Structure 1
Amino acid sequence: MPTRDEKVAQIEAALRGRFFANVPKVVKAGREGWTEDQHDLDRLSRALAAYALVGRCEIDDTTAAGAITDGSDDGGIDALYFDRTGNRLVLVQSKFKRTGTAPAQEEVLKTINGVKALRARQFNNFNLAIRNRLDEIEEAFDTPGVRLEVLLVFLGDAIGPHATDDLNAYRDELNQFTQVMDWQATGLEPVFGWLIAEQAPAAVDDQITLENWSGITTPRKAFYGQISAAALAKLVEDNGKALFERNIRHYLGSVGVNTAIEKTVRTRPGDFFYLNNGITAVAETITPAAGTSQRCAFGFKKLSIVNGAQTAGAIFNATLAGNVSPDAKLLVTLIEIGNGADDIGLKITRARNHQNVVRGVDFAALDPNQERLRQELAAAGITYFYRPSAEARARREDAFTLEEAAVAMACLAFKVRSAAELLQHPRPINAVDFVVTAKKEIGRLWEQDGTLYGQLFPATLSGVRACRLVRIYRFIDRILADTERSENSYYRRMFFRHGRYFIMAFVALRSGDVMSKSQLEITAADETLLSQRTNELSELIYSATEPLQTLKGYLAIFRNLTDAQPLAASVLQRLAEDDARRLATQQLQGAPQGVQAADTEKRN
């Protein structure tokens, strides 16, 4: 799960990506001496006010940005919106402070006085942004039953007791005869909750028509029959990826057997039923209409295709080239699984897909932890593909896959352990074990029944950390790949080709200051440190491997724990000696004894 700082980082990334285009820097009287950092925080505070309206009133980002009133003479009201559906006038005061500082009592009093002035219709006291909203404000005040809702939004936990007392006193004053006003303090957790809730997959509540169908009722309801290919294509068109939420894969595109499915459904529609395995779908509830055994409509709540995503995707793709014949039909099995009280849905997905050729990584889609990571990253504008799909194959800066995350975690998330540490009971997690596995049997990293997957993707892993490590991994990998291409010596080329993961583990060991930051972005300063350390450590490790060159190749060394662990011990010894020499030099020169050339912060 994300830490507090990581939640702030995700919120900040979302505010920048979603609102900064409509929330420009404001330069006006009183702000002439502001630094760019001050202007940046001001934009973030105004963006947070807009997002509070998105989360509270369920309006779009553009409308919310247009409701910002922050500025001079705003009466402590940073955004204002008449929610006609909810019959309320929402008044927002926002404060974006990464430290979590809540609005102070004087700031809350300013907002209370601003609300009083609005209710007294003393509009000349306000800035142009508020005066431009007078029609909206007066409509709200003239509508019977409208409530005033004061929303304080910030990145802390709670406002202070004095500010709370002031708000309660004003609320009680207005609500003497009927409920007119309420207030709400919205801190970090609710704001982060809004972001995550937006990323939850949409439920598919739909219906399909089955022909020549039958069913059973015990031990649970299930129906099976024929569905037309055209009807299935329409279901895919209407619902998109949400239709495959319980599946282990999305549509992989026009590759391999999918191309054959497309061709068959177009050219041999009458044979399609006999040549295709059909699809399996589950739903929370299945409700048949009053049809006949020859033809009946079925309604669904939370429908998902758990086997047959490639068939469904290929049929939809085929319809893009023209209408599909009504003769094209396929078998569908529909199973009612209830509201998730047991794991029957997972069992059905796993069993039905084991009948096909699948990889171990495909079943990671059944891990709810992966969906949590996807939602966290989506909130910050990052796409995380934990289900194989055609889209996942394209390399993008703002996206990464489960496989890439697993390798990045294996190389960068764990500490290189000394021989003494490995003798402890219980034996601690060792980075060398992971980098050797990644080099030798990379598929074991995401093997669901293995011991490594749970260590790479624990429940404590946040989306921010996963993304940061992937970006660091990509950066170091580019450095090492470029170095390999530039080398003329055969031994050095092979060292940089096969020792890449091993080198990364030591860069991570010496770069706790960079690895541990709760930020998505890798700064230029971070890159400078990583580049310097990668080059220095590569040479140190290469020097340690030179005595082994005549004994075996680098591929064998780095994929064999028997060779890699002694090598790691040798490198650790050299680093300790270098640190000791550097410390002695600093002491002789009068440097502070606490200074170290590299950060060796301990990591799990």
Structure 2
Amino acid sequence: MSKGLQDMPLEVQHIRSALLREFKDRISMGDFEKKDPTERETALLSRAVSAKAARILTDCTSDEAAAGVIDGRDDFGIDCVAFSNSGSELWLIQAKWKNKGTAGFDTEAALKLVHGLKKLDNRDLDHFNERLQLLADRVHGVLRLPTCKVNLIIALIGDGRLSPEIQNILNDAAHEFGGLGRTVEYRVLDQRDFHRAVREDLEPQPITLRATMDREWYTRETPYKAVIGEVSADQLAHWYGGKGNDQGHDKGHGERLYDRNVRQSLGLTGVNQTMVESMIEDPEGFMYRHNGITVQCDRIEQEYHAKRAVGQPTTLILHNASVVNGAQTVTSAFRAYERDPEAVADAYVLVRIISLDGAPENFGRSITKATNTQNHMERRDFIAIDTVQSEIQKDFRLSLDKEYVFRRGELDPAPESGCSVTEAATALACMHRESSLAVRVKGSTNVLWEEGRGGAYTRLFGQQPTAQQIWRAVQVLRLVRDRLTELRSKLSGRPGSVVDSGSLLVAHLVFQRIGRDKFDEPDDEWAGVFAEVPAQVDAVLTCLVPMVDTLFTSKSFVTSTFANEERCARLVAAVLGMLERGTGPDSPMNLSAFIEGASRNRRRRPQTVRLLVDHDVIKDGTPLVYAPSTAEEVAIGAWLDADPRRRRASWVNDRKAPLLWEADGKRYSPTGLVSQMWNAADWKEQWSTVQGPKQWKISGEGTLVEIAERLWRRIVDESETEDESST
């Protein structure tokens, strides 16, 4: 044993061996090829810790975790990026490895991680490395969701203790980023977490759950044992997250609870957020509004607190248990428990527990399938019985000869033929004099259907609007969105982020500029109002973009600013005031200046094949291999293995068809060849989109996309150097 391993604690040795076994051949280490072997291994282990953290937290595959590692030059404190299956949750991971198990996390590291989050939030990607560039679209897809959740993860091969100063830094970031459904949380994964994960990888331990029923319950013994009763929601929270805090040992089972389910939890979706609020605001009424959950287990062991009789308080011990229906409810209980444990203890959930002891082999699978294929009601469904909607539909037909659909499941009409109730309600929310409605709708359209005092639906449709008012509002909203889409392609950085996150607030400002009375003008006068909408959008953006920095500083999170009702109200007042005073073309706040700045700062990378061919990066005849995803390998792996030539191609410097497929001797584009392979393998469930340049790889150099990204970064760097030397 080497001196380094002799000094390494046994638990750390176990972790090291497991990380190298899992990630040594998966994580790119090209930037350490010429470094000292010891330094290279330390860097590899640090990156592997970040990838393993992604696996622990998201249940992604090893390949997917490795693909999310961005550690290296220009990573801005983010070593790995991971995503939820639903695309609404993001993990930004910073990892530290120490051979002696003494890795720590200091103030500088915390500030760097928060700075990385801010750069992502501002769409400031130009200075990130090429590994992050490959993930940029997915990162933006999460951050543009007003109900997204961002997790800052500190992954340490150490005891995981954070100083109060570091906790304050992370708490401040969470407070600044959050608002109206958007959340940031931080979590520490320490040495014990990694050692536990390593043990479970070797031999996953069956899950044993305890369910105490101290209210009414009943049991059925034949043909298979089942128990149905009420369980407090805080017990479900403990199943998921454990009874201790992040430094404790009892941390719950997380996503492993759903191993037999058809899907994992979906993160903080709109429906799940509603459940969280319901548990906290009206815990005693929660059970009446929700369907309950189903748990399967191999065996039920029952303990009685006093009298042994049905209905008496009892605790059920569920061996090898899995939640097969109700993952969203369980996860929501955990989220609610984090906010208000006492309230969640008063919320109860109907739980059906089914023992598979003595059941046929496929019985459990059939239960999982059946319990996850039943229809469910959404809040929008209930507006179908509101006579106001049917009256609006009649008004649309009689007054405008257009369609208006309001029942879920009906196809939306063609844009020129009418609109849906969702589009109508969104437009009316933007038209409303209070900006809070536009802010809430940006978070989730579910808020449109809230009734009662203060509810959006009541405020929008309580006094029935005319078909003409609705249709004109929809037309304005569409024109605003069209203009923003046109401008978005020309903007980057914070201006681009303002367009992404503030689109409905821009629409609200345009509506306020037009004025509610204009929507009842005669058609000939309305035509002039409508024609001015694009110019109104430009004027609003001219003021709004710099106003965000003026009111909340250039270091503020753009996305959370537009999810905060109070901040948006201040922005609206300031922008409308400035527009009333007037801003001319000579004003420093000019939209063209933002566009010109964006064009200087951002150069679009040419298409991958064209870039590689034009710069003669790959020599003719260079061999390439097909690098399928896990799903592709499962689907067509046998077909590929039947003829090894199917996985191989060689490069030809031609823009249209640079790949010579060894299997048939014909030339294809990278995407065309992948599509040809899927079809030849008769993969009926193949995806609708193909990303060929990401799926063909040159040994030791990476995929075609990765090679192109490195080339483009070098070209941009050289160009910037020339610009600096010429000034």
Under TM normalisation by the shorter chain, which class is it? Answer: 0.3 to 0.5
TM-score, normalisation: structure 1: 0.34
Which structure ranks higher in relative contact order (CA pairs < 8 Å, sequence separation ≥ 6)?
A: 1
